[in-house]
Structure 1
């Protein structure tokens, strides 16, 4: 996607794997899926959708689970034209049970 000068950019804050009830799933797949659901909710509240996402930034505590993260990501983004992305391995996130945090930028 090319960003046009008429596009409005939407930046989400980093989303972690806790659900609306505050429960944090223990596994990579479950946490990653919750992260993407949280992102979807944030995008929706700004009038954006996954098709509008142009950039994702991933913060992970372990890179061994990248195949799992990619598989879940692919459930949400257009795999034929995925958004650009950056992955950063971190020593930890705000709480020790969090495994992944993701930020999104959308152009609408």
Structure 2
């Protein structure tokens, strides 16, 4: 079970990010940074943050399904963004988040593993009992 907490006196964006996510017992999975690669390793959505984050969301959904989980089981995510601009926040978080949203950190970076990659997302997931 995951408990989402918005502490009193702490400003946040509760519709976009949970300030605290507490996992009660169970198993936890750590997803490596997911990138906008297709099944053959080619970059999807070159030049488009939105297209890349949608491809990443699809990858995450496939991984979660294999684990018997879904996006509501994501406890924490870290999002790395090349060429970050504030107007990208709803584009990126809108494609990634279900409800309730996980605890989240978004970091602007100079580059990722390939010059055509604009977004990378890593997740911590609370898994259902085995």
TM over 0.5: yes
Moved more, 41-50 or 27-36: 41-50
Q: 1:33-80: per-residue Cα shift (whole Å, max 9, x none)?
A: 001111111222222211211111101112212232122124xx11xx
Q: Determine helix, strand or coil for the equivalent of 1:33.
A: helix
More helix, by proportion: 1
Alignment partner of 1:32 is 2:56: no
Q: TM-score, normalised by structure 1?
A: 0.86
Alignment partner of 1:72 is 2:95: yes
More strand, by proportion: 2
Q: Distance in 2 between matches of 1:41 and 1:62?
A: 27
Moved more, 92-101 or 60-69: 60-69
Identify which of 26, 32, 38 aligns with 1:19.
Answer: 38
Q: Distance in 2 between matches of 1:55 and 1:30?
A: 22
Q: Distance in 2 between matches of 1:51 and 1:67?
A: 18
Q: Tell whether the 8 Å contact from 2:72 to 2:101 is kept in structure 1 after alignment.
A: no
* Greater RCO (CA < 8 Å, at least 6 residues apart): 1
Q: Determine helix, strand or coil for the equivalent of 1:12.
A: strand
Larger Rg: 2
Q: TM-score, normalised by structure 2?
A: 0.72
Corresponding pairs, count: 103
Structure 1, unmatched stretches of 5+, are none
Identify which of 90, 94, 102 aligns with 1:83.
Answer: 102
The Cα RMSD (Å) is 1.4
Q: Determine helix, strand or coil for the equivalent of 1:63.
A: coil
